[in-house]
């Protein structure tokens, strides 16, 4: 079973994503970039779903830290954000993100993007 790390500072978003992915994937969650890095240090993940706007270390900073580690740098990342503007999408693409999913999540779009990246 593929494993996914969901990173979001909003507990409701973590719960919703977890419920959507439950059963099809092994899901772990982190409430901050720092917590995500800690979890990555102890487990292999096939995909990271990463919130862009978080207090402290935001999604772009977290992504940069992930890319600094040889063992993590190739893990695909999908950004989760309520801020789906052209600048965010362009910046995400420039940083190698595999997609951007808008919040609130539309189940079909969310699961479709996850499935596409993990195929």
Count up the domains in the chain and report the number: 1
Decide if 99 contacts 111 (C-beta within 8 A).
no
CATH at 89: 3.40.50.2300
Sheet holding 26-30, edge to edge: 26-30, 3-7, 47-51, 77-81, 99-102
Residue range(s) defining the domain that contains residue 27: 3-118
d(CA 116, CA 38): 27
d(CA 115, CA 119): 6
pLDDT in tens, 60-112: 999 999 999 999 999 999 999 987 888 888 999 999 999 999 999 999 999 99
Percent over 70 (pLDDT), the chain: 100
């Amino acid at each position: 079973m593929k494993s996914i790390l969901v990173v979001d500072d909003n507990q409701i978003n973590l719960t919703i994503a977890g419920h959507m992915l439950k059963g099809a994937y092994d899901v772990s969650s982190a409430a901050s970039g720092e917590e995500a890095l800690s979890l990555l240090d102890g487990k292999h993940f096939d995909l990271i779903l990463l919130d862009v706007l978080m207090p402290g270390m935001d999604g772009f900073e977290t992504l940069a830290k992930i890319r600094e580690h040889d063992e993590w740098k190739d893990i695909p990342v999908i950004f989760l954000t309520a801020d789906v503007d052209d600048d965010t999408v362009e910046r995400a693409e420039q940083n190698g993100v595999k997609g951007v999913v808008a919040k609130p999540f539309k189940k079909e779009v969310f699961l479709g993007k996850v499935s596409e990246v993990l195929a």
